């Protein structure tokens, strides 16, 4: 790791979230520098997905601040946060299953498109230019994920692994600076997982991305992440390089201890 001062892309300060009496997250602070690949781990119910939901605006933090790219996004509407550069995938796949693979990706591009319903209705040249451009970009994206030959299939008919990859493609189509991946390898076999990790490493470079990754597969997180944050029962209990995390007694107790 270089020691040069890096630009902070995401800065979370003492973010908490309660649901009724249950404190799902309490005073979590973390930061991610531009270009980093960060892992977020923790046992079931630790609050990992809750943190993702705060970062993407599914619900606002009960207290604390979230700064994305120098702008406060805590409590902002999800579609605005998405347009400001944070895109995500879901733990349980949430594609638009009755739409085609191509349309799933196009819809994300559309939100940044210039042409409107008005120009489309009147079939102005701008509509065709806009549509063609979006279709071209979406096909490019599908090619990267080896999904181009299935562009016109319904998303729901694809294999599980391909659906997972399509979710990442759809998230990337929004042109994010920060990509949030919620257990992208869940349910994949070791070979698929390895391919996926190579792909993630590649898109990180290609799209100049900063990535926050939730994952259960410890070997995988340890292998690819620059730094790792560990959550347990809503609290941040450790952060550091994979080696530091592996040797942290608190982490071993909370998480790895189960396997020892």
Partner 1 sequence: MAMEYFIQQLINGISVGSIYALIALGYTMVYGIIKLINFAHGDVFMVGSFIGLYSARNLANAGLPPVLVLLLSLVISMTVSALLGISIERLAYKPLRKASRIAVLITAIGVSFLLEYTGVAIVGPQAQGFPEILNKKQYTLFGSIQVDSNQIMILGTTIVLMIILQFIVHRTKIGKAMRAVSYDMEAARLMGINVDRTISATFAIGSALAAAAGVIFGMTYNSVDPMMGVLPGLKAFVAAVLGGIGSIPGALVGGLLLGTVETEVSSLGYSSWRDGVAFAVLILILIFKPSGLFGKNVREKV
Decide whether 90 or 207 has the Cβ nearer to partner 1: 90
Decide whether 57 or 184 has the Cβ nearer to partner 1: 57
How far, in Å, CA of 181 to CA of 165, rounded?
11
Find the shortest distance in angstroms from Cβ 107 to partner 1. 5
Find the shortest distance in angstroms from Cβ 213 to partner 1. 17
User: Which residues ranging from 110 to 129 are in contact with partner 1 (CB under 8 A)?
Assistant: 110-113, 115-117, 120-121
How far, in Å, CA of 175 to CA of 154, rounded?
23
Decide whether 27 or 103 has the Cβ nearer to partner 1: 103
How far, in Å, CA of 236 to CA of 26, rounded?
8
89 Cα distance to chain centroid? 5
Interaction between residue 164 and partner 1 (CB under 8 A): no
What is the SS3 assignment for 46?
A: coil
- Contact between 200 and 224 under an 8 Å Cβ cutoff? The reply is yes
Structure tokens at 100: 């085609």
Find the shortest distance in angstroms from Cβ 115 to partner 1. 7
- The DSSP-derived string for 132-164 is HHHHHHHHHHHHHTT-GGGTTSBGGGS-HHHHH
User: Which residues ranging from 238 to 257 are in contact with partner 1 (CB under 8 A)?
Assistant: none
- # binding residues, partner 1 (CB under 8 A): 33
Site track for partner 1 across 11-50, x = CB under 8 A: ----------------------------------------
Distances (CA, A) of 8 to 26, 33, 35, 88, 147: 22, 4, 9, 19, 34
Binder among 6, 13, 65, 96 for partner 1 (CB under 8 A): 96
For CA atoms 196, 199, 205, 209, give the dihedral sign.
negative
What is the SS3 assignment for 235?
A: strand
Binder among 7, 75, 94, 219 for partner 1 (CB under 8 A): 94
Binder among 26, 49, 82, 163 for partner 1 (CB under 8 A): 82
How far, in Å, CA of 236 to CA of 231, rounded?
5
Interaction between residue 174 and partner 1 (CB under 8 A): yes
Interaction between residue 87 and partner 1 (CB under 8 A): yes
Interaction between residue 99 and partner 1 (CB under 8 A): yes
Decide whether 113 or 218 has the Cβ nearer to partner 1: 113
* Residue 6 DSSP label: P
Find the shortest distance in angstroms from Cβ 203 to partner 1. 17
How far, in Å, CA of 224 to CA of 20, rounded?
37
- Contact between 37 and 49 under an 8 Å Cβ cutoff? The reply is no
Q: Which residues bind partner 1 (CB under 8 A)?
A: 56-58, 77-79, 82-83, 87-88, 90, 94-99, 103, 106-108, 110-113, 115-117, 120-121, 170-171, 174
């Amino acid at each position: 790791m270089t020691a040069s001062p890096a630009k902070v892309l995401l800065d979370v300060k003492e973010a908490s979230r309660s649901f009724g009496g249950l404190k799902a997250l309490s005073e979590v602070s973390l930061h991610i520098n531009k270009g980093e690949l960060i892992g977020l781990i923790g046992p079931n119910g630790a609050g990992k997905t809750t943190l993702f939901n705060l970062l993407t605006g599914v619900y606002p933090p009960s207290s604390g601040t979230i700064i994305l790219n120098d702008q406060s996004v805590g409590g902002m509407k999800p579609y605005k946060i998405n347009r400001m550069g944070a895109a995500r995938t879901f733990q349980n796949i949430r594609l638009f299953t009755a739409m085609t693979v191509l349309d799933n990706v196009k819809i994300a591009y559309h939100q940044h498109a210039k042409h409107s319903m008005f120009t489309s209705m009147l079939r102005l040249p701008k509509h065709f230019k806009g549509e063609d451009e979006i279709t071209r970009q979406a096909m490019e994206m599908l090619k990267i994920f080896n999904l181009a030959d299935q562009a016109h299939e319904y998303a729901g008919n694809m294999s599980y692994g391909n659906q997972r990859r399509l979710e990442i493609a759809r998230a990337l189509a929004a042109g994010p600076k920060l990509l949030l991946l919620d257990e992208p390898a869940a349910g994949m076999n070791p070979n698929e997982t390895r391919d996926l990790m190579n792909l993630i490493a590649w898109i990180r470079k290609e799209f100049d991305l900063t990535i926050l990754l939730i994952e259960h597969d410890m070997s995988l997180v340890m292998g690819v992440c620059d730094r790792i944050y560990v959550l347990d029962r809503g609290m941040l209990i450790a952060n550091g390089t994979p080696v530091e995390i592996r040797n942290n007694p608190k982490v071993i107790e909370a998480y790895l201890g189960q396997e020892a």
